[in-house]
Amino acid sequence: MPNLKEVRNRITSVNSTRQITSAMKLVSAAKLRRAQDAITNMRPYAEKLSEVMGNLSQAAEGSDSPYMEQREVEHITLVLVTSNRGLCGAFNAQIIRRAKALVSTTYADYAKNGKLSLVTVGKKASSWAAQSGFNHQASYDELYTDLSFPNVVPAAESLMEQFALGETDKVVLIYNRFVTAASQWVTEEQMLPVMPPQSNEAKGNGVEYIYEPDKASILENLIPISLKTQFFKVLLDSHASEHGARMTAMHKATDNAGELLKSLKLSYNKARQAAITNEILEIVAGAEALES
């Protein structure tokens, strides 16, 4: 049984940890509220933009947009979106795990032939990509410092330019989609080339739009906006998911620390009781020895 000093030190240490995790939980909860509002407000715009794109699907079939060019995939780019910090459970690990699974199965031939590139957002993904042995093309870890549409646009434009110049033939985004504070879904989403929306889905709402000047011209301008919006929405999803995962992880850590404190205090009381009992026995034994 550990002595009283060791148990007291452990109780002090666990109690300090519990206070830290509780504070981090409150901070993450406050940040989650803002991040959740951002993605909640963004989704209706993104959905409406997709609806308009769907309505333009007939024009999309004959579009000359370089972002819709369907060509044989010889080079692929994976965009991994994680966080800059840890202490958020399996949030980062599951993105890296999915990337490892893809490069060893679906995209194994591209990885083997050096035709696979990695673009990362978040220090956790950048750290793994730098050690992975694959072509780590670019990292955008600084985007989380001020996550706004104007700051995200250059990164999206870089990916779009690479595709338009033929440097890559497919761009896939891997990120955590925000569902609830306790639930995030690892999602693979193709960014480029743009797939023409299904016309039957577009006509499902029964709305007929009047376009000026014409569908094809509007589509040419709408596709780049749609791609930048898609990339921004992915980052907002990941950002909200990060704070939700961290809040949940810190909540569990605080609860676990509380349970450990109960166990340590019980051990401390038992050790203290045993020490007092031994002292009483020694006093009684000494008194009996004096009487005899």
Residues 69-89 pLDDT 10s: 889 999 999 999 999 999 999
Instruction: Examine the pLDDT at 17 and tell me if it is beyond 50.
Output: yes
Q: What is the pTM of this model?
A: 0.86
Pairwise pLDDT comparison (125 vs 195), residue with the higher score: 125
Is residue 88 among the annotated active site residues?
yes
Cα–Cα distance, 189 to 226 (Å, whole number): 14
Instruction: Examine the pLDDT at 32 and tell me if it is beyond 90.
Output: yes
What confidence category does residue 56 fall into, taking pLDDT thresholds of 50, 70 and 90? confident
CB 112 within 8 A of CB 105: no
Region 86-114: what's the mean pLDDT? 94
Cα–Cα distance, 50 to 97 (Å, whole number): 30
Q: Write down the pLDDT at residue 207.
A: 63
How much is the mean pLDDT over the chain?
89
Q: Write down the pLDDT at residue 2.
A: 62
Which of 53, 88, 99, 264 is the catalytic position?
88
Share of the chain above pLDDT 90, in %: 67
Q: Write down the pLDDT at residue 61.
A: 60
CB 82 within 8 A of CB 246: no
